[in-house]
Structure 1
Amino acid sequence: MDGGDENDESACAVGPATAAAEAKAVAANKSHSEAERRRRKRINGHLATLRTLLPTTIKTDKASLLTEAVRCVRELKKATAELAAAMSPETTADGVEAPPSFNTFPSEIDELKLSYTGEDDDSGAGNVRAAICCEDRPEIMPELARALKSVEGTVVRAEMSTVGGRIRIALWLRVEGLGKGGDEAALAAVKLALKEVVDRPTAVVGSGNHLPGGPGNKRPRLLM
């Protein structure tokens, strides 16, 4: 009799545990199925968008769409490179001297290029050209303003272009205390201030978090 009671108690103990494990497995499977459904829906949405964007879509299956998208992107990149090559590397469209290696469109690499262009006047101020490329973000202009204020820099001229979440900014600066020949310490301070803007993380909207360099983070490149 005692043996039978022990078996009954064990069965009672195992029963609820097994039921709980099964319920957990069912819930996990349902969650996985929902996630897969959302993933497929998102992919189908992207494919539908591609169908509306591509100039020619004879075949509408996924493989053909992706092949055509890659071909179009390559053609656009080639056209962009030809357009950039057609422009003088030393001057902008209105004939004003441009920053070193300034391209019309943002690149996929975070970079900062800086060069001293000469003394502004007898006051000790100097001229600097800068080209910045990084992830675009709403706060980048206030950040640049604070950075330049910290090194007594004044913007004489600026040009900007944004494409696909990337931004390129060309700056012509007048920096106090730079002096004749470009004081190395002052120039280094300008470089550091601008580099902090380029390297600053991009906020993830709605999360309160930051990702280093934002979506599609690229390795920073610093040139003088």
Structure 2
Amino acid sequence: MYSNKYLSGNLSGISENQEYGPMSVKQTLVLDGEKGKLVMKASERMGKKIVVSESKTMVALKSHSEGERRRRERINAHLATLRGLLPISGKMDKATLLAQVISEVKQLKKTARRASEGLHIPMDTNQVQVEKLEDNADDGSLLLRASLCCDYTPDLLSNVKQAINDLPWQLLKCEISTLGGRVKIVFLITASEEKNCGSTAVEELHFSTIRATLSNILDKVSASVLYAQEICFPQKRRRVSYVNLDDESSRDFSQ
């Protein structure tokens, strides 16, 4: 029989690698003196590596969990803000909330676009526009919107008032906006059934009459602007040299 010391000294160098799951652990064959049998002992260095790797994994998982929690809190805060902006109160899931927000934004953009349509004032050209807004089939009335854009002159408003009063229709509303010496006037005009509205030919007659009336106002404005420019900036008169024909003829005969 070999002594325990001899077996321990010779068998302590015997080692082998055993794999446990995805990691490889180095083990050494030693003799246990108390039990009187050979046992496998794991390497202390590999054990330390396993412990360190597990601690790093736990730290990474904890950091990921904290980041995910903060992300969910931010999303819930944004969703709560959106719920507060909607006119509809009540609980709804995220998909319904986002769909309602998209619909509300589209409606707001459409409303803003309609509100800003009448605010545009061309600065370089004069314009006359006439369009039909709606018609009532019951009584045959017709609602028209006409606009005039031009330079401001002192007699502009008086000319507009006289022209509108001469039209055989009722003026419902008039809006005047100015910008940098330019003026835009928008009229809402209605023609009742007494004026025989309803047919396309009659509507075209209304359009042409209103357009011609506003165009006449533009002609007066253009003439007034040209007259004002001539007064403020008069052109220099050309110098004309007069030749004395008697002197020229006498000079020719003397030669």
- Normalised to the residue count of structure 2, the TM-score between the two structures is 0.38
Larger gyration radius, structure 1 or structure 2: 2
**Structure that is richer in helix per residue:** 2
Greater relative contact order structure (CA < 8 Å, 6+ sep): 1
- Normalised to the residue count of structure 1, the TM-score between the two structures is 0.43
